[in-house]
Amino acid sequence: MSLPITMAQASTAGQTQAMLFQPLEIRGVQLRNRIVVSPMAQYSSIDGFLTDWHFAHFAKFAMGGAGSVFTEATKIERRGLGTVGDMGIWKDEHIAPLQRLAKFLKEQGATPSIQLNHAGRKAGTYKPWDGFGALDRSVPVEGQEHWEVIGPSAVEYLEGWPLPREMSKQDIDEVQSNWVKAAMRADQAGFEILEIHGAHGYLIHEFLSPASNKRADRYGGSLGNRMRFALEVTEAVRRVWPQHKPLFFRVSAVDEGGWTIDDTVILARELKSLGVDVIDCSASGISIRSPTASRIAPKLGFQVPYAERVRKDAAVMTMAVGLIVHPRQAEEILVKGQADLVAIGRELLYNPFWPAHAARALGHDKQYGDMPVQYGWWLDRRSKTGYTEE
């Protein structure tokens, strides 16, 4: 049983109202600030179940002051597993551990959030630190046979990777149904924001991109047809996801296979009409590992222009992500109107209390009042001894 946390009341004297720390209300949910913990895979689940590692991993971000804490990409069915250790929500037994986590995150003042995903043709891979490539499919996984690899078309991700079976209409209906069931379980678990993962070369993105979608039916060919699966999943999820809870959608705003920022703007407009509240703007993944795994080092905030373009041209709230590491950098993104939220990933692995440090750097919280009282009380008293932070 977790101990309820009360936050110390900070004096507002001498403090500034940084935009990064202004609350944001979306539908019936208020985020305490604009800092979002981006989904980061840990590959530490057993048969999809959340473990103690996950609890400690996510809990520290809420204690560190983030406005919203997202789980890693949580799989809607076993066929959707990217690799061994992915988190899942494809059965009711997964709910209880997730419920405990969501409850604790909320007790710390963070909005509990979950990202749902299906790996599609990128299923069955090594954990990244074990190598890059497809698993030996003749070896059982956790005492079970390997999961089947499916996709919009029989087009492999990369040479030597499994050839996916082209999904039939029955497969499409079944996967969409599993997305709905997963969303309902996420609601039961107490999550308040749900994000549909439509990026990084996973199943929904595979339908969107002409590089991976070679279908000749109503789910392939034209842009409208290639968007159909994403829009049907979104519409079905929005129907069961409570109306007072926000719905996010992550896109690869551009990819290496022909999907463009103009396509993303069109998709974003359609998603908004179906009840999506925020477009989470990432990039790539349809035929490369990820931009951050590239031999060419990306620049800080390299994906921010995508969030800015979508926000402007689709008239929808956006979240910027991608090498956002400095407090003033994050503040500037918001002040310039490039995005409504900033998602921080690996910088939080290095510094889980990044939000608290950002609050100090931006002059928002000089008395550690936004930190859990169990920490803030001690740190505030240390500051009164004349100690100054580097």
Extended beta strands in the chain, E state? 24-26, 29-31, 35-37, 68-75, 111-117, 150-151, 165-166, 193-198, 247-252, 278-282, 317-321, 341-344
pLDDT of residue 292: 56
Q: Closest by alpha carbon to 119, among 91, 159, 143, 87?
A: 87
- Which is nearest to 348 in space by CA: 320, 372, 313, 324? 324
**Which residues are paired to 282 by β-bridges?**
252
d(CA 334, CA 332): 5
pLDDT of residue 65: 96
**Which has the closest alpha carbon to 327: 298, 356, 370?**
356
If you count them, how many residues does the chain have? 390
C-beta of residue 114 within 8 angstroms of C-beta of residue 199: no
Instruction: Say which residue the tokens 């595979």 belong to.
Output: 206
- For the chain, helix (H) and strand (E) counts, in that order, are 11, 12
Domain ranges of the chain: 19-383
| pLDDT of amino acid 331 | 98
Cα gap 283→264, rounded to integer Å: 11
pLDDT at residue number 44: 96
Q: Is 83 helix (H, G, I), strand (E, B) or coil?
A: strand
Q: Which two tokens stand for residue 99?
A: 């419920």
Q: What backbone torsions phi and psi does residue 129 show, to the nearest 5 degrees?
A: -80, -5
Contacts of 166 (CB under 8 A, 6+ apart): 150, 151, 152, 153, 154, 215
Q: What predicted TM-score, i.e. pTM, was given to this entire model?
A: 0.93
**Distance of alpha carbon 232 from its chain centroid, rounded?**
20
pLDDT of residue 141: 82
What is the DSSP code (8-state) at residue 8? -
- pLDDT for the residue numbered 370: 86
Q: Give the bridge partners for 29, in sequence order.
A: 26
pLDDT at 389: 65
Q: What is the pLDDT of residue 116?
A: 98
Residue 138: per-residue pLDDT: 83
State which CATH number among 3.20.20.70, 3.40.50.620, 2.60.120.200, 3.40.50.300 fits the domain covering 19-383. Answer: 3.20.20.70
Per the annotation, the verdict on 202 as an active-site residue is yes
Give CA–CA dist 44/165, Å, rounded: 28
pLDDT by residue for the chain (390 residues), tens only, comes to 333 332 333 334 344 689 999 999 999 999 999 999 999 999 999 999 999 999 999 999 999 999 999 999 999 999 999 999 999 999 999 999 999 999 999 999 999 999 999 999 999 888 989 988 888 888 888 888 888 999 999 999 998 888 999 999 999 999 999 999 999 999 999 999 999 999 999 999 999 999 999 999 999 999 999 999 999 999 999 999 999 999 999 999 999 999 999 999 999 999 999 999 999 999 999 987 655 555 566 899 999 999 999 999 999 999 999 999 999 999 999 999 999 999 999 999 999 999 999 999 999 988 888 889 999 889 888 988 877 665
Task: Give the number of other CB atoms < 10 A from CB of residue 235.
Answer: 16
Q: To the nearest 5 percent, what fractions of the chain are helix, strand and coil? A: 35, 15, 45
Dihedral angle sign, alpha carbons of residues 355, 359, 362, 364: positive
Please state, in angstroms and rounded to a whole number, the distance separating the CA atoms of residues 162 and 359: 47
Active-site entry in 43, 157, 202, 306: 202
Non-local (6+) Cβ contacts of 114 within 8 A are: 70, 71, 74, 89, 98, 186, 189, 191, 193, 194, 195
Residue 356 structure tokens: 């608290």
